Amino acid sequence: MRFAVAVLLAVAAGCGRATEHTDITGANVQAVAGDTVTLRIGDTAVLGDVVRLTFRAVEGDSRCPLNVQCVWEGDAELRLRAQQGPGDGSDLVLHTTVQPRATTVGEFRIEVVGLEPQPVQGEPIEPQHYSVRLVISRG
């Protein structure tokens, strides 16, 4: 049953998206408006050669574990770093459930559409196992 739900959610999340770029080596991922990118902590998406967006951390993860029945789905707080050209850039905080789930950096709108893996009660998630799915569109 869980597998069927996971497949349905994965299919629904991908509907209407132009392309998906996934980089598992830790190198930069090139993206343009209309793309969906998947980043692990430490990975950077380069948006149109102008904006660098780095997935820095999951600050808090209160999402409902797969093997638990919850009254609320919970939320995860994600920290990203955005840079437009040379300089330090700025930290961004986005969420999986509550607002803000999206932000605009330069000409790009960045929206969180998923965070993996799903929590399982009693099994902590190591930071290196997290990956976030972001939809990139015109701001």
Q: Model confidence over 74-109: pLDDT tens digits?
A: 999 999 999 997 777 899 999 999 999 999 999 999
In a domain, 31, yes or no: yes
Which pLDDT does position 26 carry in this prediction? 54
Q: Across the beta sheet with 90-95, what order do the strands follow?
A: 29-31, 44-47, 51-61, 76-84, 90-95
In a domain, 6, yes or no: no
In a domain, 123, yes or no: yes
In a domain, 58, yes or no: yes
In a domain, 12, yes or no: no
Could you give the dihedral angle defined by the CA atoms of residues 100, 102, 103 and 109, in that order, rounded to the nearest 10 degrees?
-170
Give the range of the structural domain holding residue 40, as residue numbers without chain letter.
17-138
Find, among 75, 111, 80, the residue nearest to 93 by Cα: 80
In a domain, 23, yes or no: yes
Is the Cα torsion angle 101, 55, 13, 35 positive or negative in sign?
Answer: positive
Q: What is the pTM (predicted TM-score) of this model?
A: 0.78
Our count of domains for the chain comes to 1
Which pLDDT does position 25 carry in this prediction? 45
